[in-house]
Amino acid sequence: MRYLFSVIHDRPTLATPEEDAAIDVFNERLQAEGNWVFAGGLAAPDTATVVDNRSAEALVTDGPFLESKEYLAGFWIIEAADLDVALALATDGSKACNRKIEVRPFL
């Protein structure tokens, strides 16, 4: 079973060196214990570009699709047997990166 951990942040700051170090330790553990699928940190939301090609002509817009105080700062995709395992990992992940994490199952 795969879960997306969305890292939610509400300030325009990147991870501190201490947070980066803690994230590295957490990632190594995910890999060692077989929970790792993929992970990444994202640049600030104002670097985003939105493309909408649902109509006749592709529309390219500068900026995030949603203006909000909280934004997606990064993510993990992990493999876990069930939600209890995923929540336990998210608890440690939230501590490591010092941000909120939303846990959502893949279909």
Partner 1 sequence: MTGTEVREAVTRAHQEEWARVVASLTRRFGDLDIAEEAAAEAFATAVQRWPDDGVPPNPGGWLTTTAVRKAIDRIRRESKRDDKHREARMVHDDGPPEPAGAVDDDRLRLIFTCCHPALAAQTRVALTLRMVGGLTVPEIARAFLVADTAMERRITRAKAKIKAARIPYRVPSAEDLPARVSGVLAVLYLVFNEGYLASGPGTDPVRADLTTEAIRLTRLVRALLPGDGEAAGLLALMLLTEARRSARVSAGGELVPLAEQDRGAWDAALIAEGHRLVRERLAAAAGGVAPGRYQILAAINAVHTSARDMRDTDWSQVLALYDQLVRLDASPVIALNRAIAVAEVDGPEVAMAAVDRLEGELAGYHAYHATRADLLRRLRRGHEARAAYDRAIELAGNTAETAYLARRRDQLR
User: What is the Cβ-side half-sphere exposure of residue 94, based on CA atoms within 13 angstroms?
Assistant: 14
Query: Per-residue contact track with partner 1, 16 to 55, x per CB under 8 A?
Result: ----------------------------------------
Strand partners, 61: 50
- Least Cβ distance, residue 103 to partner 1 (angstroms): 8
The string of DSSP letters for 3-32 reads EEEEEEE-SS-PPPHHHHHHHHHHHHHHHH
Of 12, 41, 63, 105, which lies in the binding site for partner 1, with binding defined by CB under 8 A? 105
Spatial distance between the Cα atoms of 6 and 41, rounded to a whole number of angstroms: 10
Nearer to partner 1, 66 or 83 (CB): 83
Does the footprint of partner 1 cover residue 104 (CB under 8 A)? yes
Spatial distance between the Cα atoms of 107 and 93, rounded to a whole number of angstroms: 22
Of 24, 31, 82, 91, which lies in the binding site for partner 1, with binding defined by CB under 8 A? 82
Does the footprint of partner 1 cover residue 107 (CB under 8 A)? yes
Q: Phi and psi for 4 in degrees, rounded to 5?
A: -100, 125
Binding site for partner 1 (CB under 8 A): 1, 81-84, 87, 103-105, 107
